[in-house]
Chains A and B, each alone.
Chain A
Amino acid sequence: MRERILLIEDDQVLQDSINELLSIHGFDVVAFSNPEKALISFNESSFDLVLCDNRMPIMSGLGVLKHIRTQQPDRFIPFIMITAYDDRNTYRSAMLGGADDFINKPFKSAELIASVQKQIQKLNSWKDQLEAYANFPNENPNPVTRVNTKSEYQFSNPTFKLLYASLTQEERSFFDRFIFTGVKEAMKVAYNLSRQLELKSHLYNVTFSPQTDKAYTNIYFSDISVILKTEEKMKRQELFYKEILDNLPADLGVFTPEMRYAYVNPHGIKNTEIREWIIGKTDLDYIELRKPLRTDHIDRRAKAFQQAKNELKNVEWIDDYILPDGTIQYVQRTFHPVINEQGNVSMMIGYGTDITERQLAAEEVIQSRLRYKTLFDNNPQMAFIVNQNGKVLDVNNAACFQLGYSYIDLINSSVLNLFPAHYHKTVTKTIEMCFKESDKQHSWELIKHKKDGTLIHVLEVARTIQLTKESEPVLLVVCTDITEKKQNETLLQETSDLNKMLIEEMPVPVAVIKMGEFVNVNNSFSQLFGYSEKELKGKLLTELVEKSYCDLLTKKIEERYKSNIRVMECEVEVFSKNGQKSNVIISGTLFTNKGETYTLAAFNDITEIRIAQSRELEAESRSKTILNASLDAVILININGEVIEWNNQAHAIFGFSADEAKGKKLEQLIVPAGYSEQHRIGMEKYRKTGHGPALNKILELPAVHKDGHEIPVELFIVPIEIQGKTMFSAFIRNIEERKKAENQLRALANELSQQNEDLKRFAYITSHDLRAPVINLNTLLDYYDYNNPASALNADLIERFKQSANRISETLNDLLEVTKIKDRTQALQKTNCNVAEIFDQCIRDNEEELRKAEAEIETSYDATSHLLFHKTVLNSVFTNFITNSIKYRSPDRKLKIQLSTSITDTAFYIRFADNGLGMDMDKLKNRLFSLYQRFHTHVDGKGLGLYLVKSQLEAAGAELDLNSKVDAGSEFIIKIPFITEQIPV
């Protein structure tokens, strides 16, 4: 390829000769006399060199140069200026403007060719470099350089330049040697080659990457000293964390997302063989191995795992295990998904911690409300009540049993007898402190001896309590035998891998402490207390702990070191970074790593439990007092109907004492026989549906007293829920007195309204039946002619005087009769009446009239004609019916009288019927049975009969009904209910 040269020369002769010369030497020349035209051509086509005269009329060579270099600064093109010999200024300006060479006029042809060829050569090498440089990783943050086959540094990136610049002369020659030897070797094998270079206390991994076809080698440096250090640190940490995990006093397992075991710590599975076997296996494999095994835990676990995996969040639950000794162990378990960068679960950490004591404490709180004493006595933990002098006031069964003493041995003895002599001072001081700081709960570990002299480790928790308002405060001490626990805590074997993440992600605050200083804490710790790991490093544990606890804590730690007790537990108050206080149980275990002794401490936040406990203890005596002071009987029963609580008032109402009642079923105590089935059905219904017919409303029911008599009570039952257990709280009030008063009141009201009714009737009668004849009398007197006493009118008047006076007299007698009957009937005793006999007697009494009327009499008595009733009333009623029937018989037919009786479940019925004139029921409805009503005009009726009959029957508790049809007859029905006096309860 021939190089193209742009020649600009206004001197035509010189232009032609240069053109000719260059062409001879194998260059293509494009020549211009006019620089402007030359520039247009320059812009449009490609050239390899510009040869330009300076002194030209239109534009100087400097102008052309300036134009080329400013318009196209990136175009690599050599520029040779033809100048006058000693034009120094032009020469300097051209140099600054970017000219590459100068030829002074006049010049020799060889001189020109040499200059042009040199520039072309320079251009070509430039072009090569340019091409090479385009492949050079200049931006790499690590040092990179390129060495060509001539052992020259061709390109270097800024980092390399910095590195190289920092080297001393001596180091530089060593460095160069290292580089060039490496390049040669790499070129030889034509393959990447790595060498390590230690330089200025850094270790570099140097990679020689030869490009044989391009004849250069790229050399990459990477500073691996940092990585090495991290690796070493990681290795150290790994061992450290492994130690922690293996010694962790909790279950810890790592699962693959398919729930296969990846790691289990020794606490999780104690058996080493199984622990190794289970890696890669599932729970199902484990069930297969250990048949028969409870699977409900496994199921729950599988569900929790799926939940944690699906929802990408921690899932917590509590497992309960029945231990071989019958006690229940509670384990709080957590699945913690570890999420990778893609947002998927990369592994699952399972964590389980024994919360039995916490759980028991929580349950104790709830139960104590109801059964403090029972709990105390039956507490599986040893419990003592001790006064200020250390005298044992009360002790529970567990304490007697576990320590081998009898109740008599311990009661009223000094608590010091239970401790070895060298502990006596400590114990005395501790008791003193407990009473002094009575608002706090104290706990400590001590050694006690049993009656047989053996020593046991105990964990004691103590708190001052006031049993009643007036009494002295006493100390409640609950002890747990932890001897076995201590012995069991042997060094746990390390078996499998672990990494930092396990500790960091563990969902329980954990800290590693060395000589009281924080070495390391996990994320949970930082979250709970607000301190970051950095802030805590080197900080003393005691700086976080409330001052008053520091001594106790320090003492415990020292004790632990001295006595070589492996686990230390201490309850303290810890300040978070924001100043908030939390109650925390610190459980620490010792472990050694590379000869150093560390404490692994878990921090269990029990603030809420403590707050709840203190509240409950306070509330307990208060609610007991309120309960017993209540005016109502308060009875608490469980879902099986068994009495749990029975207050003083319940004792007073039902006669059973609390001791007699508790534990018994309510239906055995106070539910009357007639209601026990209903009670059972109600309870059963609630168990099934959560609803009961008797709940949440006030009911009035009969209840049974201890001595068997029934008491009417008012009952209000509310279901209450305590810790998922349903109970019923019944508030019962004795309403016997109230009921009596109510019944009396009702009777009185009835009587009054009856009397009122009578008064009204009396007023009516007075108005009509007494007034009328009196008015007549007066008026008759007005017409009396005193002047002619013997006149005909006077005789007439006197006859009417008599009639009126008679009528008044009759009416008064009738009224008296009515009142008498009422009084008499009410005073009468019921006797055994034979309806048949009484009716026969009445027939005989009216024999004469019946015979005259030629009456026919029919009787039919259903089953029995005997009943408990007033004989005289029946007598009077029958007589009335019979005389009425005779009086109002039809003139068209023979009189026929029927009497029959019948019995239903509730009443005795007597039916009396005749075939007389009858009455129009539609018209007479309202007036039937009223005083002085007559329904017939043709016979002499006073209108008193039916009223008297009805009054008598009602006074005796019976009812009277009448059916009648004109010219067909009348039918009277007497209903005598069996239970005449019903006490509404």
Chain B
Amino acid sequence: MQLSQPIMIIDDDPINNFLSKLAIRDSFPLARVIEFENAMDALIYLNSKKDVHNELPAIILLDLKMPVMEGWLFLDEYSKISQQLVSTPVVCVLSASDYSEDIDKAKQSNVVTNYIMKPLTAAKLNETTNQLSTKP
């Protein structure tokens, strides 16, 4: 499978981002990865590329626990601009938390498609992209 759009990682933990990129490379060796350690920067990016299909991510991998803007706040802000994007990314929460409160809250969110427990692996990513291809 070939992705024409990049994959976006939002996480303040550089080790995690390093590992996620290894997993993405295993599944999609040619895929572009856009990495943000600050959710605010990610929002600014999305807003600036809302009309450019190829620059908008196919998948967003979002960590919940981050300084300044945490994952939940990002989701709130993102849901306000998602309608304006020419193509809607699949938003996946990528978290180390197996806290049921977090999982339930993510499931109730309108914009979150999947909740992936860290670490990200090739198998977990494939599962998500399968869902992506079956999406209308």
Contact = CB atoms under 8 A, between A and B. Distances in A.
Interface stretch (A420-428, A460-468, A763-771, A823-831): A763-771
A776 B19 contact: yes
A804 interface: yes
Contacts of B68: 934-937
Interface string B93-122: 000111100100000000000000011000
Contact of A803 (B15, B73, B98): B15
B96 A783 contact: no
B38 A779 contact: no
Interface in A903-936: 923, 927, 932-936
Interface residues on B, range: 20 to 34
Interface in A922-973: 923, 927, 932-937, 941, 943
Given A767-B99, A776-B119, A779-B19, A934 B13 contact: no
Given A775-B118, A779-B119, A936-B67, A804 B96 contact: no
Contacts of B67: 933-937, 941, 943
Interface in B29-72: 38, 64-65, 67-68, 70
Nearest to B40: A937
Contacts of B96: 767-768, 771-772, 775
A757 to B, nearest CB: 15
A934 B68 CA distance: 6
Contact of A772 (B38, B99, B118): B118
B16 A776 contact: yes
A342 interface: no
Contacts of B13: 772, 776
A113 B68 CA distance: 166
Nearest to A932: B65
A488 interface: no
B85 interface: no
Contact of A771 (B18, B38, B70, B97): B97
Contacts of B22: 783
Contacts of A941: 67
A796 B98 CA distance: 28
Interface in A749-772: 763-764, 767-769, 771-772
**Chain B residues touching A, majority SS:** loop
A937 B22 CA distance: 26
Given A767-B99, A775-B96, A780 B73 contact: no
Nearest to B41: A937
Interface string A800-844: 100110000000000000000000000000000000000000000
A780 B65 contact: no
Contacts of A778: 119
A581 B68 CA distance: 100
B119 A764 contact: no
Interface string A885-907: 00000000000000000000000
A778 B120 CA distance: 12
A525 B68 CA distance: 105
A767 B97 contact: yes
Interface string B76-102: 000000000000000000001111001
Contact of B119 (A767, A775, A803, A923): A775
A767 B63 CA distance: 13
Interface residues of A, number: 28
A800 B18 contact: yes
A937 B38 contact: yes
A823 to B, nearest CB: 26
B62 to A, nearest CB: 14
A556 B80 CA distance: 114
Interface in B4-20: 13, 15-16, 18-19
B18 to A, nearest CB: 7
Nearest to B117: A775
B19 A780 contact: yes
A148 B42 CA distance: 155
Nearest to A934: B67
Contacts of A943: 67
Most buried by B among A763, A767, A934: A767
Nearest to B20: A779
A764 B99 CA distance: 7
Given A779-B119, A935-B68, A772 B16 contact: yes
A416 B129 CA distance: 123
Contacts of A936: 67-68
Nearest to B99: A767
Contacts of B73: 923
Contacts of A768: 64-65, 96-97, 99
Nearest to A800: B15
Contacts of A803: 15
A637 to B, nearest CB: 60
A804 B102 CA distance: 23
A287 B35 CA distance: 117
A885 B38 CA distance: 23
B37 to A, nearest CB: 8
Nearest to B12: A937
A776 B15 contact: yes
A336 B117 CA distance: 105
Contacts of B118: 771-772, 775-776, 779
Interface in A275-306: none
A381 to B, nearest CB: 86
B116 to A, nearest CB: 12
A601 B1 CA distance: 131
A123 to B, nearest CB: 138
Nearest to A938: B68
Nearest to B11: A772
A768 B93 CA distance: 14
Nearest to B69: A923
A137 to B, nearest CB: 122
Most buried by B among A769, A775, A778: A775
Nearest to B23: A779
A783 B15 CA distance: 13
Contacts of A775: 96, 118-119
A943 B66 CA distance: 11
A773 B119 CA distance: 10
A923 to B, nearest CB: 7
Contacts of B119: 775-776, 778-779
Nearest to A919: B68
Interface in A780-808: 780, 783, 796, 800, 803-804
Contact of B19 (A767, A783, A932): A783
Contacts of A932: 65
- Give the 7 A-B residue pairs with the shortest CB-CB distance, closest first: A934-B67, A779-B119, A772-B96, A771-B96, A767-B97, A776-B15, A767-B99
17 contacts: A764-B99, A767-B96, A767-B97, A767-B98, A767-B99, A768-B99, A769-B65, A771-B118, A778-B119, A779-B119, A780-B15, A780-B19, A934-B67, A934-B68, A936-B67, A936-B68, A943-B67
Given A775-B119, A776-B118, 8 more contacts: A764-B99, A768-B99, A772-B13, A772-B118, A776-B13, A780-B15, A800-B15, A804-B15
